[in-house]
Amino acid sequence: MFSGSCFFTNLVAVVVTTIAIVYAFFIWSFQYWKRRGLPHLEPSIPFGNLPNPITSKTSFGENAKMLYQQAKARGLKHCGIFIMTKPTWFVLDLELVKHVFTRDFQFFTDRGFFFNEKDDPIGKSSYIQGEPKSDYKYRDLRNLKRYRDGAHLIALGGTKWKNLRAKMTPTFTSGKMKMMFQTMVDCGLILEKYIEEDVADKQVIDIKDVLGRFSTDVIGSCAFGLDCNSFKEPNSPFRVYGKKVFQPSILDTAKAFFALTFPDLARTLGMRQIKPDISNFFTKVVEDTISYRERNNVTRNDFLQLMIEMKNKKGETAGDGKTLTMNEIVAQSFVFFIAGFETSSTTMTFALFELAMHPEIQDKVRAEIKEVLARHDDKITYDSMNELIYMNQVIDESMRKYPPLPVLTRVAVENYKVPGEDTVIEKGTMVFLPVIGVHYDEDSYENPEVFNPDRFSPENKQKRHPYAHLPFGGGPRVCIGERFGILQAKVGLTSLLKNHKISLNEKTAVPLVISPTSQITAADGGVWLNVSKL
């Protein structure tokens, strides 16, 4: 009896002591910005300045916007926040944003994304081409010099990012866009046929699903040279795995939050950026496609072909900054697919939601489409898409209200002295650039809740700070596929709107509710539209 009582007493003492130590650790950690002399937003245990990622009913973007508004109300140009105990520099002032993105880019070259080079081949590294795969499977991780880096462009930082960016930039020139444009047009014709034969005047549609099929076909063809046939096979592997990336479970969300906060511990625990089945699928697709083309001397005007040509450059060796390894090709193809299909379909979805809500704007867009196509034999051409100025304004305004990535991140790679202040941001500090807060700031956008494409007329854009609109980021790390994404969105919207009228179906929640779990800004419950022939 006495022994049991002692055990219970000791157990209580251990638990109380542990709680006290953890509590003290949080309190000490939350004094970081005070010790640095920088104003901060008051955090709470245990999640800092963000709510519980598992139970939160509001999206990450909405929470970031609220933090922005709190800091703005205090007259702060920048401040400190906490992601759990992780100190994060929160930047509001547009001139300071410009410094981070461009002027002082050398201090903020890295995005700070979590990666695991040991367990995540697409996310980081895999075996050197030519070495036995069995050796790769049982490799000695202490000898990492034997393994060539294969990370995708979004995750890399520093010199590795700079070299890979230089390799990839030529694949997104105007000339290369024109090479791939006909593929977009062909996918647009399939979309138009589907709307004409299967949708118009017959049923309500989840427009995000329809546009997801379109963008999957476009990216599948342009990135992999494969016909995904998403309209005939809505559950094709590309659709299944593409959606899987952006529809995380509650556990996935919790893991991502943990990895962001404790990246070293997450790597020790073997946490991955990309699930094994997703990684294996895309790796096999790329390797099999390249093998088929090289064996059969097949060439196509697509993104993959451009990378194959870089891989096979004669007289040059891997690592010289000019060629690509197989691992790099796999990683870039993967990120091109996931970034291209989801962000473009999301942007088109929100644009059509707003056009359904504002019929007069929809009519103006359609009138421009008809006028421009009339000058091009009623055909969708590369030049005709570039002449859709008002549609471009609609897309810009849609991305202002619904930025695909509501927050952009950087990490300080060296100690950084804030311009005009004594404040020093320490090396390794995460940086949050709240895009959604900037996009809803009344100093830049009067009545920001109102959808108004005229904000992006050439004359109005000139009046506004150049960093007040950041859907693709800015500076040297601006999204490399920006022009491709806009072009794809124009083709999709043109194909759908030129002969059809859209209206909002009662299944769509108004105002829209933004999904609290989606990694990309998305409407919870979907956007449901009625489509009718003109």
- From the list 382, 375, 385, 386, the residue with the least C-alpha distance to 494 is 385
% the chain with pLDDT above 70: 89
User: Is residue 67's pLDDT more than 90?
Assistant: yes
Across 430-452, average pLDDT: 97
**Contacts of 245-253 spanning 24+ positions with Cβ under 8 A:** 245/274, 245/278, 245/338, 245/342, 245/519, 246/338, 246/342, 246/518, 246/519, 246/520, 246/522, 247/517, 247/518, 248/517, 248/519, 250/54, 250/517, 253/53, 253/54, 253/517
Residue 301's pLDDT is 81
User: Is residue 193's pLDDT more than 80?
Assistant: yes
Tens of pLDDT, residue by residue over 359-403, are 999 999 999 999 999 999 999 999 999 999 999 999 999 999 999
* Local confidence band at 317 (pLDDT 50, 70, 90 cut-offs): very low
Which stretch, 96-100, 210-214, 483-487, has highest mean pLDDT? 96-100
User: Is residue 125's pLDDT more than 60?
Assistant: no
Question: Is 187 annotated for ligand binding?
Answer: no
Residue 154's pLDDT is 62
Higher-pLDDT residue of 397 and 204 is 397
Residue 157's pLDDT is 67
Residue 136's pLDDT is 29
User: Is residue 38's pLDDT more than 60?
Assistant: yes
Tens of pLDDT, residue by residue over 129-164, are 333 333 323 233 333 333 334 455 566 667 777 777
What domains can be seen in the chain, in order of their start residue? Answer: 31-533 (1.10.630.10)
Residue 127's pLDDT is 31
Residue 14, Cβ neighbours under 10 Å: how many?
10
* Local confidence band at 126 (pLDDT 50, 70, 90 cut-offs): very low
